[in-house]
A and B are shown apart, each in its own frame.
Chain A
Amino acid sequence: MEPTDAELIAAVIQGDTASFEPLIRKYQPRVFATARRYARRESEVEDIVQEVFIKAFQKLRGFRGEAPFEHWLMRLAVRTCYDFLRAHQRNRETSFTELSQPETDWLEQFVAEPSRADEHAEAARQLIGRILGRLSPSARLVITLLEIEERPVKEIAEITGWSVPLVKVRAFRARAEMRKILARITKEKYM
């Protein structure tokens, strides 16, 4: 029978570092999926995931076991991603480079007939990825958590450490920031 998370954590705290490996193996797919929402390059994603697990190991004594380990780890992962966004704030795209042909085609299709533009299209995903890349760190975080992952405001407040009203204010600003970017693209292209 496989040891439980609590048993593994207790063993790590007792000094058995090797017991941390099954925890990494179990949760790394989720941490990778989270990191890929905030970083584009694979090397950056790997660095984020590594930092998350190192932080988790160092702070494991602070885990009180009131919530599942997964929740604690994911909160750590989101905070690490936010730190990454803030650290790389200067590297984010400040101006929109030329849209690719599939992106332009998708936009044209959307302009002609919004209901027929396919949300599954790779071009739409690329476009939203580029728009998210232009948002400020807090706007990107709140759009990802609230709009894309559809998490409740209260949960976002717990994850980020922000108050509920602050999450709401930042969500409002983030949506406005995103609309502004979209308006600029469409203005350049279709007006």
Chain B
Amino acid sequence: MNPSDLQAKLIEAARKEPLQDQVPYAFEKRIMACLASLSPLNSWALWGRPLWRAALSCVAITLLCGIWSLASAPKGDNSDSFAQAFERAVFASSDQHLEDIW
């Protein structure tokens, strides 16, 4: 027996098989129910992922900026000297005036 002949015969049998297109009762309702449950979920899923990415990158940038500002800040506390320098600058002219009077 030649397998090619058997193959041709079986394919012929498959071709002659009538289409089985029967549909279970109210199947479209089942799909519509699925779609109804999927729709809001999808819109959240659509927005959720980019929003999470944006939030994570914002946190990362904030942390980097914080670390950078801490690292670049001067080591010693020179707030006092700045205040003294400011005071000197403000009262410089009045000091000069007082010296002239004396």
Interface residues of A (CB under 8 A from B): 17-18, 20-21, 24-25, 28-30, 32-33, 36, 46, 49-50, 53-54, 57-58, 110-111, 114, 117, 119-121, 124-125, 127-129, 131-132, 143, 147-148, 150, 175, 178-179, 182-183, 186, 190
Interface extent on B, as a size class?
Answer: 20 to 34
Interface flag for B89 (CB, 8 Å): no
Residue from A20, A29, A125, A190 in contact with B17 in the complex, judged by beta carbons closer than 8 Å: A125
Interface flag for B42 (CB, 8 Å): yes
Tell me which of B30-38, B59-67, B91-99 binds A: B30-38
Interface flag for B4 (CB, 8 Å): yes
Cα A28 to Cα B4 in complex, Å, equals 36
Interface residues of B (CB under 8 A from A): 1, 3-7, 9-17, 19-24, 27-28, 30-32, 34-36, 38-39, 42
- 20 A-B pairs whose Cβ atoms sit less than 8 Å apart in the complex: A25-B28, A30-B21, A32-B20, A32-B21, A36-B20, A50-B30, A58-B42, A110-B9, A114-B5, A117-B9, A120-B13, A124-B9, A124-B10, A128-B13, A128-B14, A132-B14, A148-B11, A182-B7, A186-B1, A190-B1
Cα A143 to Cα B17 in complex, Å, equals 15
Kindly provide the distance from the CB of A129 to the nearest chain B CB, expressed in whole angstroms. 8
Name A's interface SS. helix
Cα A120 to Cα B14 in complex, Å, equals 9
A29 near B32 with CB under 8 A, answer no
Cβ contacts under 8 Å, A119 to chain B: 9, 12-13, 16
B19 near A33 with CB under 8 A, answer yes
A183 near B3 with CB under 8 A, answer yes
Cα A127 to Cα B14 in complex, Å, equals 10
Q: Given contacts A32-B23, A50-B30, A58-B42, list 14 more A-B pairs with CB under 8 A.
A: A17-B32, A21-B28, A24-B27, A24-B32, A28-B28, A54-B31, A110-B1, A110-B9, A119-B12, A119-B16, A120-B13, A124-B10, A175-B7, A179-B3
Cβ contacts under 8 Å, A150 to chain B: 15
Cα A106 to Cα B19 in complex, Å, equals 22
Given A32-B21, A32-B23, A50-B31, A179-B7 contact (CB < 8 Å): yes
Nearest residue in B to A144 (C-beta to C-beta)? Answer: B14
B1 near A111 with CB under 8 A, answer yes
Cα A182 to Cα B5 in complex, Å, equals 10
Given A21-B28, A53-B31, A124-B13 contact (CB < 8 Å): yes
Cα A162 to Cα B16 in complex, Å, equals 27
Nearest residue in A to B4 (C-beta to C-beta)? Answer: A179
Kindly provide the distance from the CB of B7 to the nearest chain A CB, expressed in whole angstroms. 6
Cβ contacts under 8 Å, B16 to chain A: 119-120
Residue from A17, A129, A147 in contact with B35 in the complex, judged by beta carbons closer than 8 Å: A17
Given A29-B22, A49-B27, A58-B42, A148-B14 contact (CB < 8 Å): yes
